[in-house]
Structure 1
Amino acid sequence: MIPPGLLISAPASGCGKTTLMLGLLAALRAQGIAVQPFKSGPDYIDPAFHTAASGRASFNLDSWSMDAARIEGLVGNAKGADLILAEGSMGLFDGVAVPGASGNGASADIAAHMGWPVVLVLDASGAAQSVAATALGFAQMRPDVRLAGVVLNRVASKRHEALIRVGMKQVGITVFGSLPRQKDIAMPERHLGLVQASEQENLPEILSNAAGFVAAHVDIPALIAAAAGTLQDAPPPAQIIPPGQRIALAQDDAFAFVYPHLLAGWRAAGATILPFSPLANEAPDDSADVCWLPGGYPELHAGRIAAAENFRKGLQNFVRTRAVHGECGGYMAMGVGIIDKDGIRHQMTGLLGLETSFATRKMHLGYRKADLHAAIPGHPALARLRGHEFHYATILSEPDAPLAQIIDSNDVVVPETGSVKRYDGGGVATGTFFHMIAEAA
């Protein structure tokens, strides 16, 4: 059976939904309640925090990239849990203009599809009864999305809270809790968002503080009672063809961004994942038949990667006879060099001719569709992939053969095509700036 669920969302980014999500996960876990977390949208940082807080692997659900069957199959991971909590992205109704596989990518799509009532986190700074007007608008925006109630955040005083509650009572909206202003559980951020969970030395303390803070100011039993859902049982997870049967997977603070549903799908298909750390100067396992370099923050560790001679030579030997694929940061590390924010150039592995720079930042953000000109591990030529791109690198050169035609969510061609290079021994290097989420139907 699939347990009931709630979607934690907000009118916009920065309202406090991650604080509430992590606090609830940690508090419920401390009470012995098994909670299955999910993340709406193409975010690869939040799920690691969810997993740390809940003790259960968190999975992304994305209506633009995933069809309904894939979403429902992933929700099947909630079997055996007592409750589902899904964290939204951006604002509740924020998505792209042109719908994709099963929606436009908005968190509201997931709430409507799964029948999960929404708990809206409202930043109450600088307003009082007027906050209720915002909540009322969200309650009425889409008839297929039900607002369970709100949690007020950054409340200045008891008087401030009382005034807001007066407004909420006037429009008939439940207030589940009121979080006062505080900075004790703020997590450091960098240009792509939160610092990764693996880099948080005091993460247990942060989660414990968040749990105590939320438990003290939110009516958790009332939240649990508001949970609902329309899915009683889930279909089998959609099949994901692995890139190989033995996958050498780069995994450390420089290469950490791989979607959990892909790893789970590869393992379910019988693949063996062989992690290695480029930052520890480790080469890919020679018994692997494919090597996968995920995204991450290679620009922050460019000096260490450049000095990792064993990693570089091991990867160069590997690609002579086998396939190596890189996504975003992994793709950049497969190039000839990265120029860091201070203008210093660092040698990369040279599997491809790509050169990138962070000295002059340029944001690349959005959904991507790729029609492959050449095969990548797990997907043949002519396959169409759906994914998402987010980085600040300036592309100085991308001289190898184009891997794919890339278009954005509005069907506008994107100039960064990815790259493919073949080696005399039968190996092939491929890379893209976007992170694959699913193969399109």
Structure 2
Amino acid sequence: MSARGLLIAAPRSGSGKTTITLGLQRALVKRGLTVRGLKCGPDYIDPAFHAAATAAPSANLDSYAMPEALLGQIARDASDEADIVIAEGSMGLFDAVPGPEGHTGASADIAAMFGWPVLLVVDVSGQAQSAGAVALGCIRYDERIRVAGVILNKVASERHRRLACAGMERIGLPVLGALPREASLILPERHLGLVQAGETEGLHARLDALAEAVSAAVDLDAVVAVAGATVLPIETPAAPALPAPGRRIAIARDAAFSFVYPHVEAGWRAAGAALVPFSPLADEAPPGDCDACWLPGGYPELHAARLAAASRFLSGLRGFAETRRVHGECGGYMVLGKGLIDADGISHAMAGLLSVETSFAKRRMNLGYRRAVLEADGPLGPAGRALTGHEFHYATTVSQGEDAPFAMVTDPHGSAPAPAGGRRGNVTGSFFHAIASVPA
């Protein structure tokens, strides 16, 4: 029997969705419920926090980048193994890109697809009754969804709480909780969002503190009561989101390489592939018994000097690439390149398997969905295969070099196809994080 579900969303980014989601997840686990977390959109950091808060796997649901069979499989896997699914939205509830209805990347698409009521988090700092007008707009904007209640965040005082509650009472929206403005409840961040779960000092103590704060300020019984039955599509076997690049995949995994979507790894394992982790920061080479190597994104810019000095890793990677496929995404792509300039302007030699040179000395944000068509046969499929994915990085390209492009890439806003990434011999890479294969 499928679990009940709830989507935690907000009118805008920065409202406190992640803090409240984690607090709710942890608090309900402490009550003895089996909780599964899911994250809307292309976010590879928050699912790891959900997994820590619930002691269960988390994954992404992306209505723009994922086909319906894959979305259904991910939601089914989560709801079949839980008492309640607490999903977290991304950005504002209706923020999206151009696309067919239901496939725009909006968190509202996911709430509508699976029948999950929305619990709205509203940051009431700088307003009181006017917060009710904001919530009313969310209620009326999209008839596909139902906003079942609101949690007020960053409440300054008891009087402030009463005034904001009066605004919600006027529109008939139940207030299920109100959290104070409290700096200790904020998780540490860096330029791509939260510091990763594995790097957050005292993570479980922080999660317990969030659970305690949420339990004191939120009516947990009411939260469970407003959750709705999960509506799942007719079960259709979903192919792996991405083809496995090999039968035994050496995958870099440490503080410099950690951005892998959970559904991608799960799909590879379901297809029979074995994932064999190794640590470039520990100067480990890709294991020799593997037939492919995957360098995920992460934070190589914070470890550039250490990676440049990792001679066993670099020489082992070069030897591996002579006979077997190597692919790098974003940070992994930069490490495959000729050099990486750190934020202090110091250049560090990288693997040199591709000729690209990148820099963090002059940062520029690159953000958005991408659709890539492969230029040649490679680890992600044959030439002509289309992939959906996402870019989010601050690195700039100093020199693209002479390598042939990995793919031709467009965005949802009508951009002309442009070459992206590089390929040379058995080595490929790009800033593009692949999410799923899609029909050409």
TMscore range, shorter length? over 0.9
Match of 2:167 in 1: 167
Matched residues in 2 for 1:28 and 1:22: separation? 10
The answer to whether structure 1 residue 438 and structure 2 residue 433 are counterparts is no
How far has the Cα of 1:22 moved from its partner?
0.5
- Contact preservation (8 Å) 2:76, 2:232: no
What is the letter of the counterpart of residue 22 of structure 1? Answer: L
- Aligned residues of 1:63 and 1:105 also touching (Cα < 8 A): yes
- Give the TM-score of the pair, scaled to structure 2: 0.97
| Worse-matched range after superposition: 224-233 or 305-314 | 224-233
Q: Give the aligned partner of residue 425 of structure 1.
A: none
How far 1:167 moved relative to its partner? 1.5
CA drift at 1:409? 1.3
Residue 199 (1) aligns with residue 205 (2): no
2:415 alignment partner in structure 1 = 412
Indicate conservation of the 8 Å contact 1:73/1:234, yes or no.
no
Residue 229 of structure 1: CA displacement? 3.1
User: Could you say what secondary structure the match of 1:283 adopts?
Assistant: coil
Shift of 1:228: 0.7
Q: Does the 8 Å contact 1:101/1:440 carry over to 2?
A: no
* 8 A contact 2:5–2:230 mirrored in 1: no
Residues 1:377 and 2:379 aligned together? yes
TM-score (norm 1): 0.97
Task: Compare 411-420 and 62-71 and name the one that shifted more.
Answer: 411-420
| d(CA) in 1 for partners of 2:257, 2:123 | 34
CA distance in 2, matches of 1:227, 1:234: 22
CA offset at residue 259 of structure 1? 0.2
Distance between the aligned counterparts of 1:115 and 1:221, measured in 2? 20
Matching of residues 159-308 of structure 1 within 5 Å: 159-231=159-231, 235=235, 238-240=238-240, 241-308=243-310
- Decide which moves more: 148-157 or 98-107: 98-107
Per-residue deviation, 1:378: 3.7
Q: CA deviation at 1:69?
A: 1.6
Is the 8 Å Cα contact of residues 249 and 292 (structure 2) preserved in structure 1? yes
Q: 2:324 matched to which residue of 1?
A: 322
Matched, 1:25 2:10: no
The whole-number CA distance in structure 2 between the counterparts of 1:232 and 1:315 is 43
Once residues 229 and 75 of structure 1 are traced to their aligned partners in structure 2, the CA distance between those partners, rounded to angstroms, is 12
2-side partners of 1:263 and 1:100: how far apart? 28
Q: Distance in 1 between matches of 2:252 and 2:60?
A: 21
Query: Contact conserved, 1:365 with 1:388, CA < 8 A, in 2?
Result: yes
Partners of 1:402 and 1:184 lie apart in 2 by 46
Alpha carbons 1:244, 1:378 under 8 Å: kept: no
Cα distance in 2, alignment partners of residues 347 and 269 from structure 1: 36
Match of 1:421 among 420, 424, 427: 424
Conserved 8 A contact 1:74-1:237: no
Q: Residue in 2 aligned with 1:367?
A: 369
CA contact (8 A) 1:66 1:102 kept: no
Q: Which residue type is aligned with residue 430 of structure 1?
A: T
RMSD: 1.3
Verify the 8 A CA contact 2:19 2:187 in the aligned structure 1: no
- 8 Å contact from structure 1 (residues 36, 77) kept in 2: no
How far apart in 1 are the matches of 2:380 and 2:194? 30
Distance 2:32 2:305 in 1: 44
Count of residue correspondences: 435
Report the equivalent of 1:89: 90
The question of whether the paired residues in 1 share the 8 Å contact of 2:406 and 2:419 is answered with no
User: 1:413 Cα shift?
Assistant: 3.1
Unaligned runs of 5+ in 2: none
- Cα separation, 1, equivalents of 2:297 and 2:232: 35
**CA drift at 1:375:** 2.0
3-state DSSP class of the match of 1:184?
helix
Structure 1 residue 411 displacement after superposition: 3.0
Instruction: Please say if 1:142 is aligned against 2:142.
Output: yes
Contact 2:153 2:180 in 1 (8 A): yes
Q: CA deviation at 1:100?
A: 6.2
d(CA) in 2 for partners of 1:333, 1:182: 39
Q: 2: CA distance between counterparts of 1:213 and 1:69?
A: 38
Aligned twin of 1:121: 121
Structure 1 residue 116: deviation in Å? 0.4
Distance 2:268 2:102 in 1: 23
Aligned counterparts of 2:237 and 2:118: Cα–Cα separation in 1: 25
- C-alpha offsets along residues 320-341 of structure 1, whole Å, 9 cap, x if unaligned? 0000000000000000110001
Q: Cα offset for 1:361? A: 0.8
Question: 1:155-208, CA deviations, whole angstroms, 9 ceiling, x for partnerless residues?
Answer: 111111111111211110010100011011211111111111111121011101
C-alpha distance in structure 1 between counterparts of 2:344 and 2:418, whole Å:
26
CA contact (8 A) 2:120 2:151 kept: yes
Q: Percent same amino acid among aligned pairs? A: 54
